[in-house]
A and B are shown apart, each in its own frame.
Chain A
Amino acid sequence: MDSLLKLDRCTIRFGGLTAVANFTMEVGRRELVGLIGPNGAGKTTVFNMVTGVYAPTEGHVLLGGEPLDGLKPYAITGKGIARTFQNVRLFISLSVLDNVKAAFNLHLKHGPMHALTRGRAFLNEEHEIENRTLELLKIFNLDRHRDAMCRSLPYGDQRRLEIVRALATQPKLLLLDEPAAGMNPTEKSNLMRLIEFVQETFDISVLLVEHDMRVVMGICKRIYVLDHGIKIAEGTPEEIRRDPKVIEAYLGEGPGEKE
């Protein structure tokens, strides 16, 4: 497998608590991988380790073979990992258009001095960013809301806007943190189609962190299962569904067994 993201025996401890222990996983190029586990299993901790919010106590996170040790979150985004948030975090005082434009900041050729001299090259770049933003919004049917304040959008659209904003940073890997949280079954189905669509259209890898089994089982090619910070299973959805350890973690121990 052509590996893009690799977590190499990552352990993270907060004081005496080991949140994630000796965790190894890989996400291949153009692969849609799921990371599941019950509440408090350490999914979000893994997520924060990849995005640079926490540094692993032991082990390394590698992107395309290159270690991400010690990089700040913005630098990791610069390397090609974009993310969304569990609780939508849009820029609330900016319009829909400006939210996405802000993400183009990462690959900006012009700096503050150009913003003041306003030369032709600067204006051309601004124009290009505007066009590319509109293209992106159009793909996701958000262009009719372009001038709306993002907080006035319906919840589902806000989630989609967050994905658009992440895509504007031109990532190789998109991390989605519980995108189905707070959605009803119809919205969940739409979300599943959306994620597959994003993966195919933009030709990127997607790592989906989720505790909704239906969503993950429905679209991921491979799944990792975490429980109490330890990887208890990995494999295809079929394998995961039949794995006794996974069933136990999700449904509790079987009858007749000792507590």
Chain B
Amino acid sequence: MSRALLVLVVALLVCLSVSLFGENFIASRFAYYYDILITIGVNVILATSLNLVNGYTGQFSLGHAGFMAVGAYASASWSNHLDPYVLGWIGGANNPFATNVAFLISMLIAGSLAAIAGFAVGVPSLRLKGDYLAIATLGFGEIIRVAILNTDFVGASRGLSVAGSYTNLFWTYGSVAVCVYVVLGLVHSTYGRGFLTVRDDEVAAEAMGINTTKYKVMAFVVASFFAGIAGALYAHFKAFLTPEGFNFFRSVDVVVFVILGGMGSTIGVIIAAVMLTILPEALRALAHTQFVPPAYQGLLENRLILYSLLLITLMLTRPQGLFGDPVALRKRFTRSRGN
């Protein structure tokens, strides 16, 4: 077994043992932190997967929440309608093995459907470049949201209750590990260097025999798959879905993780996702300490103000992101040169 694969297996085993021995303790004693922990995991998956498209392949997708919604609603609908049968075959709702297998199936269905959506959106829209692609993917995200809003089968604007709160630390962080492994594994190979060449110079990449369209679609499909997985985890954690949970701002959040962390740096993007998930909670906690005069509590609690200031400061001082490569950024904002 190669070293990379070994690291993945070890990571999965660590997740499994933490989940087996610590899950109930954390969830019951520190429910609030448990909640944040799961949210961090979901956000890291979203950020890492979007980084494959926006960072490594140099495309600009603004529709990640749309793919997440596809996954969340697919997984929820599957579990609501078909879990009784699945559980019936493999050992009943009280059998932990059976429920976990049922969740795995539900997650894979969610990922696959999101990947299919990614393919369907990617093939036509990846002919577009830069801002135009951003607008097309933004449009897709909104279409998904409005479609859900008007589909009675998934609860429309009333929202959708999800049967089975299956999401736990193992599935969340196991998915994080797999997602990071897949993105890094792809990029660190001769095959995957194709993604970087598409970002750097499409014309030169084509001249080297690289089918740039295929790479863009590939990046899109893989990213959508993991957005779907993140959606499934989210659905089975919150146990209740509304179309508003997947609006444009959700997509923007993920793009901010990627830009702040540094496009094309997996570690940077992960750190940004973790930090920006904790930050609003930390600000709220800070607002209620004795150090903050009551008059300023509102300012800190209204986290969006400080959050925005922080982003502006970071973008002014480090436009390439915390761990980003400045070259990749320059490329992003310069028009492609004529030949």
Contacts and interface: CB of A to CB of B under 8 A. Distances in A.
Interface of A: 44, 48, 51, 53, 72-75, 77-78, 82-83, 85-87, 89-94, 98, 101-106, 108, 110-112, 114-119, 122-123, 125-126, 129, 149, 151, 165-166, 168-169
Given A118-B4, A118-B5, A169 B208 contact: yes
Contacts of B182: 116
A116 B186 contact: yes
Contacts of B328: 93
Given A72-B206, A92-B200, A111 B191 contact: yes
A85 B193 contact: no
Given A118-B2, A118-B185, A151-B327, A91 B207 contact: no
A106 B210 contact: yes
B162 to A, nearest CB: 30
Contacts of B204: 85, 89-91
B110 to A, nearest CB: 20
The winner among A94, A166, A168 for most chain B CB atoms within 10 A is: A94
Contact of B190 (A75, A91, A92, A108): A108
Nearest to A116: B185
Interface of B: 2, 4-5, 181-182, 185-186, 188-194, 196-197, 199-201, 203-212, 218, 264, 325, 327-328, 331, 337, 339
Contacts of B331: 92-93
B206 A73 contact: yes
Given A51-B207, A72-B211, A82-B207, 12 more contacts: A48-B339, A72-B206, A78-B209, A89-B201, A91-B200, A91-B201, A91-B204, A92-B200, A98-B196, A110-B189, A114-B191, A149-B327
A44 B264 CA distance: 34
Which of B4, B182, B339 counts the most A-chain CB atoms under 10 A from its CB? B339
A94 B193 contact: yes
A115 B192 contact: yes
Interface of B is mostly: helix
A78 B209 CA distance: 6
Given A112-B186, A118-B185, A106 B339 contact: no
A102 B196 contact: yes
Nearest to B56: A93
Given A89-B201, A94-B200, A105-B209, A115 B193 contact: no
Contacts of B327: 92-93, 149, 151
B133 to A, nearest CB: 20
